[in-house]
Amino acid sequence: MAELQPSLVDVKKTDNPQKGKVPKWARTGVKLSMEDDSLAPEICGESTRPLLDEQLPRGKGPGLCSVRWGLALILHVTFFITYSQRVDLSIAIIAMVNSTGQQTSFNVSADVCPRPSPAPPNTSQPREIKAPVYNWTPETCGLLLSSFSYGYLITQIPGGYLTGIVGWKPVLGIGLLLSSVLGLLLPLAAELGVVYLALVQALRGLSQGVIFPAYYTLWIKWAPPHELTCLMNFADAGTTLGAFFTLMAGGITCQTLGWPAFFYIFGGVNCAWCLLWFFLVFEDPNSHPCISTTEKEYITSVSTQKGTCHGWSLPLLSMLKCGPLWAIAAAAFCCDWLFYTLLTLLPVYLNHILHLDTRESGFLSAPPYIGNWLGVIGTGFLGDFLVAKRLLQLGTMRKLFTALGMLGPATLVLAVSYAGCNSIAAVILFTLSMTLISMTSAGFSMNILDVAPRYASFLYGVTNTLSSLSGMVAPTVAGFLSSQDTLSGWRNVFFVSGAINLCGVIIYLIAGRANIQDWARTDSTP
């Protein structure tokens, strides 16, 4: 990688910087202290000088019509595809399971929503959709939905480490392509049996496990500090938009064309985008053929990158002793417990408890993700605005957004179980919950880039591995707690999620920090 331009800190230490080497705007930084250093205790060698203590005035350099924002748009579409693959089985499994045969396993009571009155017979015979239907129990469905996470957690750490050596583009691109190809094999795997379907889902998880660790390294190279939250959140918002579209279109496709066609159509489109993706993205500004000289100098001179990526050596002992890293990992695990519960089981709740069909479940599962999509984008701009205007210090903003984004949703989903059989109230509460949970995208989710930007890919792989354990366990636990498809069973699911979220918030508020650690600086040696 080409040598970076001198940093702002280096320029300010120079009495007479030579003109032409660094643009004028790069020599006039505005000091934005992240935390009151007099109040911040020393944790694992934490530096009292924040990473982003020198920032440029907003608006300098190319704005929205720039290569870096074009890259954010490409990644928005990329994550649209990534998360469409995570929720496709969640909506298709409703059409894949013979739900009529399961209702005899328990007596209908006041704790179960009544089934809607049967519709009057239609004189016109609807076209029969020939698609296999399986007699899977709720426990089996929970295991199938969580099997993705079994593979997902295995490649997080190796993917993050490999990214620091070979770069983010090949790692992210190959992982996405493999996951898309495996999606085409799901109908065949389901026909062969539950074990084969679970295996293909686990392999999809293995493929996608390298994507987000590689993604974090990307923004170390491309994002100016004061645009970091905006750029990352805009790209991340593609995840919930993909979930929204897949849940909405998937319900219609499964009912009209059959669930196998749903996987074939989406899988084919995903594979086509992956092949195009390799020609649209570039490793860093220096390798992009169309970026302007002004934007390239702007990014490299104010980048959050402190030297090159970590390479082969890592300060593992310092990482293990670092309290802020453990706080991030705890918050990620607890928040993802609730998020994965909603991501994988929301359509199941609407179908088994409120007795909505596949089409209705798809439509009513979609609004929460639209709320999350808008919330992630808005939170990014709001977080950068509050810090840039010095209304909140960076550490305070991270903690505030984390607390609101974890405690609010936990309370709202618990209220769903007390809303009874009112489907409209349930969807409204789910939507508000998913909207609020988006605030964590400007909270603990980005905190690794504050604490240790050089090791972001590896550390994200570690923390996301721990949080992926919740994605593996949460749907399985929810499947067992709700095995009788009663409101009280789902109330227990949401109680457990709320308690876990509360624990995560407490840990993060106590140990979370937003200052770069000494061992993560360029001049420190592992």
385-438 tens-digit pLDDT? 898 888 999 899 999 999 999 999 999 988 887 887 788 888 888 889 989 999
Residues 6+ apart with CB under 8 A from 260: 131, 132, 187
Using CA atoms, how far residue 125 sits from 117, 118, 129, 130, in Å, is: 20, 16, 12, 15
15-59 tens-digit pLDDT? 444 444 444 444 443 333 334 433 333 444 444 444 444 444 444
* In the block, residue with structure tokens 């983010």: 168
279-297 tens-digit pLDDT? 999 988 888 888 888 888 8
- Give domain limits for the chain: 64-106+135-520
457-505 tens-digit pLDDT? 888 888 888 887 887 788 778 777 876 657 777 888 888 888 999 999 9
Please choose, from the candidates 472, 477, 502, the residue with its C-alpha nearest in 3D space to the C-alpha of residue 489. 477
The answer to whether the CB of 22 falls within 8 A of the CB of 301 is yes
Task: Measure CA 471 to chain center.
Answer: 12
The answer to whether the CB of 378 falls within 8 A of the CB of 385 is no
User: What average pLDDT does this structure show over 187-207?
Assistant: 93
Q: How many other β-carbons are positioned within 10 Å of the β-carbon of residue 480?
A: 15
Instruction: State how far the Cα of 194 lies from the Cα of 411, in Å rounded to an integer.
Output: 35
Please choose, from the candidates 475, 407, 477, the residue with its C-alpha nearest in 3D space to the C-alpha of residue 443. 407
Highest-confidence range of 244-253, 259-268, 464-473, by mean pLDDT?
A: 259-268
Burial 303-327 (b: 16+ CB within 10 A, else e): bbbbeebbeeebbeebbeebbbbbb
| Confidence (pLDDT) at 22 | 45
Instruction: State how far the Cα of 41 lies from the Cα of 441, in Å rounded to an integer.
Output: 25
CATH superfamily of 64-106+135-520: MFS general substrate transporter like domains (1.20.1250.20)
Among 3-12, 196-205, 298-307, whose mean pLDDT is lowest? 3-12
User: Tokens standing for 414?
Assistant: 């618990």
